[in-house]
Amino acid sequence: MGVAAAQFFQSENPEESLHYRLTPTDSQVEQQQKKRADVDHFICEYIKRATGLPVRTWIQGSYKMLTQIRPVACSAGFDMDLGVCVGWSKSPADELSPSELKRLVRRAAVEFGGAGRARDIQVQSKEKCERLIFPQPEVFHIDLPSYHIDDVTDRRRLATAGGWIDSDPKPLVVWFQERVRACHNEGQLRRLVRYVKAMALLQIDEAYRPSSIAWTVLVATCISDGDPVADDEAFVHILRRVAACLSGNSQVRNPINPSENLNVTTLEKAARLAARLSELVAAAEKAADMQSTGEASIAWATLFRHFFPLAGFSANQRRSGTLHGASPQVGGIDIAVTARPKDSREGKTFKGRNLIGPVPKNYEITFQITTPLPPMAEVEWTVRNRGNEAEAAGDLGHVGSHDDRGRSTMRTTRYNGNHSMDCVVREAGRVIRVARVTVFVLEPR
């Protein structure tokens, strides 16, 4: 078992694991279910009234496969794929063209977006679907691909801007579910899909990044019963195989319909993807080779950023000190912390060292390293947010930008809860000091 296995997945303290921080909360799932039910009912009734044809919907994609991840940025939002399946006989009088079906679903979506709602919902037309974008604070969108369904064979074909495509999402979902059941550890396959998708979103440029479904198929195809039980080691094995698949041939064939390529790209983009994956495999192998949990978690955080928990500190750590599980050469840091009301508001000023709080919301907090550091030391600040409010906002933190690498930094309090500002100092690429400042935010009632 790798030294960082518990930071990937654990049942004892799940909140301090990568899998927990990537997985939607129960309330986020319930919110999506409610939105889906509203859209489902309205769209089906609208099309039935307009055509007299039978209509039903089909949930597909990561939501259906139980591999959905939280958005990696606050502005990204959750997404759901809700296929709109319209049936008709082979009579020419009943048949709709792909453009007619797509326009019909768009009209239904537009009507839903403005049907007596306080805030309009945007509708975007895309090549293979219509997209409903819910306004703040939901941070959520639903894609509505349009299908003709043959009620006799239960086969679907997709209406696109360029015509019909023989694309049926249902058999692919069934294939994935069978792959899950065939694994010695059913839950691990879904977790590995989440890890790979999150890493891709965080580390691979959108211009040449494969789709979510392509990553899912690759992971499900590459997994083997002989793989390690621990998630950190299993992730390295899977990433190596996925990278090998995409370096040799950029195409990702639909296992149900091999004529369909799930990763249509160019030779230039395929080469850039292969090169980037080679770098990511090397980074994962380096992290897996670490001998201490503390240093391993820092190395893994280069791939998963603020989503990866920093081992050796609890969520309520009250001092920096030496990172538990780190090598003897890694020391702590003293950080002076000052919190003042934002925008020159009247209010109390709070001060602390390696800990501050409770502090109200809308306070500016300055973090200043007071420990002497080597002149060429590089400082990395990482915010890790926790609690219901941060989770509801989809804001679990961020890594400071390259312009935010000095001996001090500043942030604003936004959510109640126990949060942390983690600081990693490197010299010539080697970690020499680590600290955590716990920030307890509590808005007075």
What are the pLDDT digits (tens) for 296-323? Answer: 999 999 999 999 998 876 554 444 444 5
CA angle, 180 then 185 then 188, to 5°: 75
Q: CA–CA separation, 386 vs 310, rounded Å?
A: 13
N- to C-terminal Cα distance for the chain?
A: 47
Beta carbons of 371 and 334 less than 8 angstroms apart: yes
Query: What are the residue boundaries of the structural domains of the chain, listed by start?
Result: 26-171, 313-441
Mean pLDDT value across residues 109-125: 79
Q: What pLDDT score was predicted for residue 5? A: 94
Beta carbons of 109 and 126 less than 8 angstroms apart: no
Quick one: 259 exposed, middle or buried, by C-beta within 10 A (0-12, 13-18, 19+)?
A: exposed
| Confidence check: pLDDT of 365 > 90 | yes
Closest CA to 279 of 348, 197, 204: 204
Mean pLDDT value across residues 330-341: 88
Report the percentage of the chain scoring pLDDT > 90: 69
| Confidence check: pLDDT of 59 > 80 | yes
Question: E-strand spans in 106-264?
Answer: 122-125, 130-134, 140-144, 146-150, 155-160, 163-165
pLDDT band at 282; cut points 50, 70, 90:
very high
CA angle, 189 then 194 then 199, to 5°: 125
Q: CA–CA separation, 213 vs 202, rounded Å?
A: 17
3-state secondary structure of 23: coil
Decide if 26-171 and 313-441 have a common fold.
Answer: no
Q: What pLDDT score was predicted for residue 140? A: 84
pLDDT band at 327; cut points 50, 70, 90:
low
What are 174's two structure tokens? 């069934």
Q: CA–CA separation, 249 vs 262, rounded Å?
A: 12
- Identify any residues that bridge with 20 across adjacent strands, giving them in sequence order: none
Q: What pLDDT score was predicted for residue 319? A: 47
Number of residues that this document lists for the chain: 445
| Confidence check: pLDDT of 119 > 70 | no
pLDDT digits 0-9 by tens, 245-258: 999 788 999 999 89
Mean pLDDT value across residues 141-150: 93
Q: Which CATH architecture has domain 26-171?
A: 2-Layer Sandwich (3.30)
Q: CA–CA separation, 165 vs 64, rounded Å?
A: 21
| Confidence check: pLDDT of 189 > 80 | yes
Q: What pLDDT score was predicted for residue 166? A: 85
Q: CA–CA separation, 216 vs 198, rounded Å?
A: 12
Q: Specify the DSSP class assigned to residue 331.
A: B
- Identify any residues that bridge with 30 across adjacent strands, giving them in sequence order: none
Beta carbons of 308 and 300 less than 8 angstroms apart: yes
Helices 212-222 & 186-203, crossing angle to 10 degrees?
140
Q: What pLDDT score was predicted for residue 321? A: 47
Beta carbons of 18 and 9 less than 8 angstroms apart: yes
Q: Which CATH architecture has domain 313-441?
A: Sandwich (2.60)
pLDDT digits 0-9 by tens, 75-104: 778 899 999 999 987 655 568 999 999 999
Q: What pLDDT score was predicted for residue 393? A: 87
The backbone torsions φ and ψ at residue 267, rounded to the nearest 5 degrees and listed phi first, read -60, -40
Answer left, alpha or beta for residue 344, where phi above 0 means left and psi between -120 and 50 means alpha: left
Specify the range with the lowest mean pLDDT, choosing from 57-61, 261-265, 327-331.
327-331
Answer left, alpha or beta for residue 305, where phi above 0 means left and psi between -120 and 50 means alpha: left
Q: What pLDDT score was predicted for residue 152? A: 79
pLDDT digits 0-9 by tens, 1-23: 579 999 999 988 888 899 999 99
Q: What pLDDT score was predicted for residue 292? A: 87
3-state secondary structure of 325: coil
Quick one: 245 exposed, middle or buried, by C-beta within 10 A (0-12, 13-18, 19+)?
A: middle
Report the percentage of the chain scoring pLDDT > 70: 92
Q: CA–CA separation, 425 vs 333, rounded Å?
A: 9
Q: What separation in angstroms does the CA of 93 have from each of 47, 88, 150?
A: 17, 10, 16
- Please state the pTM of the whole predicted model: 0.91
- Of 225 and 283, more confident: 283
Helices 186-203 & 231-248, crossing angle to 10 degrees?
60
pLDDT digits 0-9 by tens, 35-48: 999 999 999 999 99
| Confidence check: pLDDT of 348 > 70 | yes
- DSSP assignment of 127-154, as one string? SS-EEEEEPTTS-EEEEE-EEEEETTTT
Mean pLDDT value across residues 351-358: 94
